[in-house]
Structure 1
Amino acid sequence: MRLAARDLGWTTGGKRIVDGVSLDIEPGETLGLVGPNGSGKSTLMRLLAGLAPRPKGSVQLDDAPIETLTRRQVAQRIAFVEQIADTSEALRVRDAVELGRTPWLSALAPFGAQDTQIVDDALAAVDMLAMAGNRWSTLSGGERQRVHIARALAQRPRLLMLDEPTNHLDIHHQLTLLRLVCRLPVTVVMALHDLNQAMCCDRIGVMDGGRLVACGPPAEVLTPQRLAVIFRVQATPLHDPVDETTQFRFRCLENDI
């Protein structure tokens, strides 16, 4: 799915949270959003998903203005996992993931065998199939995060939006989740705090003060000079000979010590 935004903005309480963001995301592309705390990443994602009230500017999904689509039509196209999400304590893991099938169900198309298989596949993808019968209330923070992502996968979206998807996850599940997301045959937009994890994206957008200040391939966007200005850190690029990738080692700037 192609996603396009033009002059996108949002203001609350007289404060401009997102200001004049324009970008084009191509079908199948994985775009990472990075930026300091309070830079507008989460709000921008809600605007792109059509979830924030009275936005400035426009969002188009495959050339269709998002406001012309019903909530059901949007939900059939976009799955959005928020940074802070919750689920009824009474639900089992499988019940929570089955909710992802809701946009596709109707009186003429009730939950069936195909939906069960889709839910099983989503649970297996996040390593939660063995816990499908567990109550939500018994899950750790990391397990809950994986269930939220499984619910999004069960939605079978064409655009997957993830706000800090690796929060609460141990390092093994962080790596397996990012590998899964990058291999999905869908368009992906995800906000990330870990700049080294963002290096796996096709492109990176850098937010600062509500504005998109840079967008492009990781090696072109995450330069030591820009990281010093935006994140106030000294970044040393390191070459990993195992997979030929670049990772950063970070230090405080000397005047911050």
Structure 2
Amino acid sequence: MSVLVVTGTCTGVGKTIVTAALAALAATRGTPVAVVKPGQTGVGPDEPGDLDDVRRLAGIDDVHEFARFPDPLSPAAAARHAGVPPVSLPTVVDRVRELAETHRLVLVEGAGGLLVRYDDEGATVADLARWLGAAVVVVARPDLGTLNHTALTLEAMAHRGIQLAGVVLGEWPDEPDLAMRSNIRDLETISARPLAGAMPAGSGALDAAEFLVAAHRGLAPAFGGAFDAATFRDSFGLTKENP
């Protein structure tokens, strides 16, 4: 059994798409997989949330949302504004461990970035990963500004002794600009390893069959895909002579 936590360098970077891709590849291999969203914010009671996207794209129904708050805020602030108890991450740990007893893979998608608060005591996704002893997939933006965000995220993880499973670009466009192309090599330098994937922009609009193909192409073999970081890098002429 294995637990992977998916976080981002900030909000809106493609965490849900990467989570769905990880789930789709696991499911197609016949791996019993469950997906957990400890706290969904910015979505009303009857509106589709992130797990509905995972269900649609990955074709799995074993999804678990533990709390929902209507305001588009951090989980701690959203709970406070709604006047309801916050998400209890220690309780989430217990429930994820229960799922891990019957599933070979449990994916846990956080809200926002690594250090977004879930309660007023300051519990974060970093704490959740540490308590679970889980490795973390970091989803990053490809564009200008991502280097600082990614470096800060990885530094915070290293400071807490959290294992990095890989850095994945959540939305890679068909026509990347100069900054995006240049960032490939710098992101690999920051993380001290090759990129673990790059999901095509617009993947969330695909049907399940098309999405599985995109997931296979967009994630590295460690996650069940065929993404090759060297080939990806070389396709943009990023050699030592032309960084």
User: TM exceeds 0.5?
Assistant: no
Q: Which has the higher strand share?
A: 1
Rg larger in 1 or in 2?
1
TM-score by length of 2: 0.37
TM-score by length of 1: 0.35
Q: Which has the higher helix share?
A: 2
